[in-house]
């Protein structure tokens, strides 16, 4: 190979090397952006699902009758409201983004829903509550609210960190 031929190959080799490095850099950039896009969509769906469950719980307290009526020994469960809340919780899980609820939210949701269905089965309204039943029901309500707040707060902080 002559010197003239070798000198003509240098620009070709440089162009090939530059193209390969540029393609690899673009691949790395796209690979880094893809999980962020997927996780943002996933997080949005989780927010919507958590919001639907939160609204089901918020509607319970906004209705004219609360789930638990009275205090202490006078505490009673409004069976009609209990059946309504259990149905709304089931509908919130069965809605479009209910699949995206985390395991901890689903566990608390179905714990409360199951307890309400059990307590409201074939009962007259209002149903008297023992102290233990009232405390158990209040704990399940608060546990679901706490898990929802934790879920939304945690996800929110992760999203903010990724974009800062």
| DSSP-derived secondary structure for 83-145 | HHHHHHHHHHHHSTTGGG--HHHHHHHHHHHHHHHHHHTT--SSEE--HHHHHHHHHHHHHHH
SS3 76: strand
Any domain includes 60: yes
CA distances from residue 103 to 46, 90, 113, 143, 145 in whole angstroms, order as listed: 12, 15, 15, 13, 14
Any domain includes 26: no
Average pLDDT over residues 20-31: 84
Domain count, the chain: 1
> In the chain, what's the furthest Cα-to-Cα distance?
104
Any domain includes 4: no
Would you state the pLDDT for residue 10? 84
Would you state the pLDDT for residue 87? 92
What pTM value is reported for the model? 0.66
Any domain includes 62: yes
Read off the pLDDT of residues 73-119 as tens digits, 9 standing for 90 and up.
Answer: 788 888 888 888 999 999 989 888 888 888 999 999 999 999 999 98
Any domain includes 103: yes
Any domain includes 33: no
Any domain includes 138: yes
Boundaries of domain holding 132: 39-163
Any domain includes 71: yes
Would you state the pLDDT for residue 32? 72
Res. 159: pLDDT tops 50: no
pLDDT confidence of 34, banded at 50, 70, 90?
Answer: low
Average pLDDT over residues 30-56: 79
Read off the pLDDT of residues 108-156 as tens digits, 9 standing for 90 and up.
Answer: 999 999 999 998 887 777 888 888 988 999 999 999 998 998 888 754 5
SS3 69: strand
Which residue reads 């009526």 in tokens?
Answer: 69
Would you state the pLDDT for residue 104? 92
């Amino acid at each position: 190979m002559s010197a003239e031929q070798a000198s003509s190959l240098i620009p070709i080799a440089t162009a090939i090397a530059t193209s390969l490095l540029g393609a690899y850099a673009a691949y790395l950039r796209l690979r880094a952006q893809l999980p962020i896009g997927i996780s943002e969509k996933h997080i949005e769906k989780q927010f919507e699902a958590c919001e639907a469950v939160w609204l089901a719980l918020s509607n319970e307290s906004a209705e004219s009758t609360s789930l638990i009526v009275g205090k202490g020994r006078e505490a009673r469960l409004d069976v009609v409201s209990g059946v309504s809340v259990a149905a709304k919780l089931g509908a919130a899980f069965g809605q479009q983004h209910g699949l995206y609820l985390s395991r901890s939210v689903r566990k608390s949701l179905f714990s409360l829903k199951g307890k309400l269905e059990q307590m409201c089965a074939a009962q007259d309204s209002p149903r008297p509550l023992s102290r233990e039943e009232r405390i158990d029901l209040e704990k399940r309500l608060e546990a679901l609210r706490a898990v929802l707040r934790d879920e939304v707060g945690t996800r929110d902080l992760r999203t903010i960190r990724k974009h800062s």
